[in-house]
Structure 1
Amino acid sequence: MADLYLSDIYIYPIKSLGGIRVQTAEVEARGLRYDRRWMLVDGKGLFLTQRQHAQMALLQVSLQPEGLEVHHKQGKLKPLYIPFAESEGSGHELQVTVWDDTVPALEASPGISAWFTDALGMPARLVHMPPQTRRLVDTAYAANGEVVSFADGYPFLLIGQAALDDLNSRLAQPVLMNQFRPSLVFRGGAPFAEDGWGEFTIGNQSFRAVKPCARCVVTTINQATAEKSPEPLRTLAAYRQQRNKIMFGQNLLPNGTTGTLQVGDKLIVLSQK
């Protein structure tokens, strides 16, 4: 097997907004540090997503030393600064819903939520997941009661660059990796080699691939413009469909270790499924 290595790391501090490409990241039980620890919800506490609101792609998040900054990619609003202390502090607690899970979260200040309401053209409130909130991974795949942030279902998503290259060789217009919103990208190996992996390490961190990732319409949204297209789902459906779902990437669980990942870390496959 060709040498495998970690080529990209992405975090998405606010669920469904623009992600951040980083060189290093800390592995925590519920995902990479800062990843999907914040989320936008509607007036009933239901999560907002690009699936229904593609314009969310136009809001880009960046990490600052003491908080988050959000700007509109088309410059329609002044950037918003969100101090960690303000979003993680003793805000109003409310129940929020992500798919089938309802968990407690802390609401950010009204001024912060007002900015998002203006930016998206619909009611939106920013909430933060406090450390004591435990959202469990699907028990059909969890081994030790693993937890997850506000991510759809799993703490980590891995995609091989070769898989994207293979897909792009079939498309008239290539797509970027950011439309698939992975946590970790690796180089080396054949396209979709990750489909067969069981346990593996990246640097000093240990992971387990638990299930393929079923893809939705978010993969068809251009993350720079929020424009939609039939691709790449139409092409993927021809060769990546299983049980009426289109699979691309592998959902991961950490094997109990915490520490640092760095671009360039060697990936070693320990077992196959």
Structure 2
Amino acid sequence: MSDVAFRLKSLHVYPVKSCAGVSVDEALLIETGLEFDRAWMVVDPDGVFVTQRELPRMALVRPTLRWQDVVLRAPGMLALHLALDTVEQPLRVRVWDDEVPAFDMGPLAAQWFSDFLGRPLRLVRFDPSHKRLSSKRWTGAVDAENAFSDGYPLLVASTGSLDELNRRLAAAGQAPVTLARFRPNLVLEGLDAHAEDTLDELRFETPDGPVRLKLVKPCPRCPMPDIDPETAEVGHAVGDVLAGYRADARVDGALTFGMNAVLLEGVERALRPGLAGEASYRFD
């Protein structure tokens, strides 16, 4: 028996970690979340990941997912095509505290990112044979696999939460923002503001069978929501407003927006916007 009903409003994939996302009409669930989500990552010459936190212009790298390739575009740059079935030299890279195997995407991709972002960089692809797991502190008995995401395979947010943030931004004399600042994979509608904080399991019935996701950890927010995804300009209004009402004791007082989720059931099943969903409340 469900406690609350909602609708899946939109789906978003971020092929290159910390670059712009893609809204998709269908997304296949694989062990690490949505297919092609954070499958690629930009690294420095030492193999350490870089993000918008240090290079805000990464927000301007916009991918297009096609049948056989991903096309990356950025202002002033020719398009870069990445074949979905091609990788080059294996190497080791670091994402947060994890050192993981990956594949270098070659000198052309390296030069493209280095030219656009103004420092020596390379592009790598995650090695799917490696199992990079989320923290068991939050997932319990679930072995939740990740590609290059920050730590969990899926991020869930709601339109109700965005509406509340924009109401508070307006009251502070600030312009509204979009959920692109928060980079969710699943956007839900029909929920009260931040209702996702209190939910336990999300369930969808797809034509291929059921999909079950468990919401496991509030998502702490770094300065990235204050980077305008359209211009890469850095501000402070979003963080200032969140500080007034989103400090979360569950993560030591960090400011949170959205919930990290893991997959309980549904590998090789597809999600589509418009799906009806239901959820149960979490009782800690």
TM-score, normalising length from structure 2? 0.91
State the partner residue of 1:226.
232
Is contact 2:128–2:147 with CA below 8 Å preserved after alignment?
no
1:161 maps to 2:159? yes
Per the TM alignment, residue 84 of structure 1 is displaced from its structure 2 partner at its CA by: 1.8
User: Quick one: distance in 2 between partners of 1:256 and 1:138?
Assistant: 19
1:120-154 per-position Cα deviation (integer Å, ceiling 9, x unaligned): 11111111112201111112122232211100010
State the partner residue of 2:215.
209
1:58-106 per-position Cα deviation (integer Å, ceiling 9, x unaligned): 111111111110001x3x111111112333xxx2111110101000101
Q: Note the aligned Cα RMSD (angstroms).
A: 1.2
Residue type of the alignment partner of 1:161: T
State the partner residue of 1:56.
58
Residue type of the alignment partner of 1:225: T
SS in 2 for 1:154: coil
**Residue correspondence of structure 1 range 226-245 to structure 2 within 5 A:** 226-242=232-248, 243-245=252-254
TM-score, normalising length from structure 1? 0.95
Is contact 1:157–1:184 with CA below 8 Å preserved after alignment?
yes
1:193-245 per-position Cα deviation (integer Å, ceiling 9, x unaligned): 11111112133310101011001111100001000110211101110112330
State the partner residue of 1:266.
276
User: Quick one: distance in 2 between partners of 1:177 and 1:48?
Assistant: 22
1:140 maps to 2:146? no
Task: Report % sequence identity.
Answer: 34
Per the TM alignment, residue 272 of structure 1 is displaced from its structure 2 partner at its CA by: 2.3
Query: What count of residue pairs does the alignment treat as equivalent?
Result: 268
Per the TM alignment, residue 4 of structure 1 is displaced from its structure 2 partner at its CA by: 0.7
SS in 1 for 2:160: helix
Is contact 1:199–1:209 with CA below 8 Å preserved after alignment?
yes
1:154-176 per-position Cα deviation (integer Å, ceiling 9, x unaligned): 00000010000010011121011
User: Quick one: distance in 2 between partners of 1:138 and 1:2?
Assistant: 28
Per the TM alignment, residue 110 of structure 1 is displaced from its structure 2 partner at its CA by: 1.0
Is contact 1:70–1:80 with CA below 8 Å preserved after alignment?
yes
The structure-2 alpha-carbon separation of the partners of 1:219 and 1:53, relative to structure 1 and needing over 3 Å to count, comes to: same
User: Quick one: distance in 2 between partners of 1:195 and 1:118?
Assistant: 41
**Residue correspondence of structure 1 range 1-273 to structure 2 within 5 A:** 3-72=5-74, 74=75, 76-87=76-87, 91-142=88-139, 143-171=141-169, 172-203=174-205, 204-242=210-248, 243-258=252-267, 259-273=269-283
